[in-house]
Chain A
Amino acid sequence: MKYDVVIIGAGILGCLTARQLSRYRLSVLVIDKEPDIGEGATKANSGVLYAGFHPRGGSLKGISCARGNRMHQALCRDLDVPMEYVGSLFVAFHEEGIEQIEEKMKKGRKNGVEGMEMISGDEARRLEPALSEKVIAAMYAPTTGIISPFKLVLHTALNAVENGVAFQFDTAAENIEDCGDFYRIHTNRGTITADYIVNTSGEGAADLERFVRPRDLIIKPKRGEYLVFDTPSPIKHVIYQAQEHDEKGTLLAPTTDGNMLAGPTSYKVRSYQCTETSQKGHDHITHVAKKILPGLDLGNVIASFAGVRANIENVPKEEKDFVVRTSGRNFVSALGIKNPGMTASPYLADKITGLLFDSGLRQEENRDFNPIYRAKPLFLKADRETQKRLLAEDPAYGNAVCRCEGITEGDIRSVLNSPLPPHNLNGLKKRLRTGMGRCQGGFCTPQIIDILCRQWNVPPEKVCKNGPKSSVVKGRLR
Chain B
Amino acid sequence: MRIVVIGGGPAGMAAAVSAKEQGIPEVLLLERHPYLGGVLPQCIHNGFGTQIYQTDYTGGEYACLWAEKVKAAGIDVRTDTTVLSVEKGWKVNCVSADSGAEVLKADAVIIATGCRERTLPQMLIPGSRPAGIFTAGSAQLMMNMKNYLPGKSAVILGSGDIGLIMARRMTLEGIRVKMILGQEATGLARNIVQCVKDYNIPMRYGWTAVSTHGYERLKGVSIAPFGRDGKPDLTRKEYIPCDTLLVAAGLIPELEVCARLEPEDGLFICGNAHLVHDLVDHVTNEAMETGKRAAAYLGTGRCPACFPPAEERELTGARGNMICTICPKGCIMQVDTEPFSVSGNQCEKGADFARKEIENPQRIVTTVVKLEGGSQPVISVKTDRPVDKGDIFKVMKAVKKVKVAAPVSVGQLVAENIADTGANLVATWECKGTKN
Contact = CB atoms under 8 A, between A and B. Distances in A.
B222 to A, nearest CB: 10
Contacts of B146: 446, 449-450, 460
B148 A302 contact: no
Contact of A406 (B80, B84, B400): B84
Max count, chain A CB within 10 A of own CB: residue among B116, B131, B132, B217? B131
Contacts of A304: 121, 124, 126, 129
Interface stretch (A271-279, A331-339, A366-374): A271-279
A399 B131 contact: no
A477 B101 contact: no
Interface stretch (B134-142, B267-275, B297-305): B134-142
Interface stretch (B69-77, B92-100, B181-189, B406-414): B92-100
B138 A470 contact: no
Nearest to A460: B148
Given A470-B131, A474-B149, A302 B100 contact: no
A397 B100 contact: yes
A329 interface: no
A301 B117 CA distance: 14
Nearest to A395: B97
A474 B151 contact: yes
Given A474-B151, A478-B377, A278 B368 contact: no
Interface stretch (B208-216, B287-295, B334-342, B344-352): B208-216
Contacts of A425: 131
Given A282-B126, A460-B148, A380 B138 contact: no
Given A276-B127, A302-B121, A445 B150 contact: no
A256 interface: no
B117 A442 contact: yes
B256 interface: yes
Contacts of A477: 143, 147-149, 173, 368, 378
B234 interface: yes
B100 A275 contact: no
B235 interface: no
Contact of B100 (A286, A391, A406, A470): A391
Interface in A234-291: 273, 275-279, 281-282, 286
Interface stretch (A9-17, A415-423, A461-469): A461-469
A472 B97 CA distance: 27
Interface in A384-417: 384, 387-388, 391, 395-400, 403-404, 406, 408
B417 interface: no
A471 interface: yes
A398 B121 contact: no
A302 B143 CA distance: 25
Contacts of A476: 147-149, 377
A465 B216 contact: yes
A223 to B, nearest CB: 12
B130 interface: yes
Chain A contact patch, size range: 35 or more
A384 B256 CA distance: 23
Given A399-B97, A473-B142, A478-B368, A279 B126 contact: yes
A478 B97 CA distance: 30
A279 B237 CA distance: 13
B234 A279 contact: yes
Given A279-B210, A465-B130, A439 B173 contact: no
A446 B148 CA distance: 9
Contacts of B363: none
B79 to A, nearest CB: 12
A440 B141 CA distance: 16
Contacts of B200: none
Interface string B370-395: 10000001100000000000000000
Interface string A48-67: 00000000000000000000
A380 B84 contact: yes
Contacts of A397: 97, 100
Interface string B14-32: 0000000000000000001
Contact of A439 (B119, B143, B150, B216): B119
B217 A470 contact: yes
B139 to A, nearest CB: 9
Contacts of A278: 126, 211
B138 A446 contact: yes
B131 A464 contact: yes
Max count, chain B CB within 10 A of own CB: residue among A301, A449, A478? A478
A402 to B, nearest CB: 10
A391 B369 CA distance: 35
B95 A474 contact: no
A301 B134 CA distance: 17
Contacts of A192: none
Given A273-B215, A276-B129, A399-B97, 10 more contacts: A282-B126, A304-B124, A391-B100, A400-B32, A425-B131, A465-B216, A468-B216, A474-B149, A477-B149, A478-B378
26 contacts: A275-B128, A275-B129, A276-B129, A276-B212, A276-B215, A282-B126, A286-B124, A299-B122, A301-B121, A301-B124, A302-B119, A303-B119, A384-B101, A398-B96, A398-B99, A403-B256, A404-B256, A440-B119, A445-B138, A446-B138, A450-B146, A471-B131, A473-B149, A473-B151, A474-B149, A477-B147
Interface of A: 227-228, 273, 275-279, 281-282, 286, 298-299, 301-305, 379-380, 384, 387-388, 391, 395-400, 403-404, 406, 408, 425, 438-443, 445-446, 449-450, 460, 464-478
Interface of B: 32, 80, 82, 84, 95-101, 116-117, 119, 121-122, 124, 126-132, 134-135, 137-138, 141-143, 145-152, 173, 210-213, 215-217, 234, 243, 256, 368-370, 377-378, 400
| Shortest Cβ-Cβ A-B pairs, 8 listed | A398-B97, A400-B82, A470-B216, A276-B128, A465-B131, A469-B216, A277-B126, A478-B370
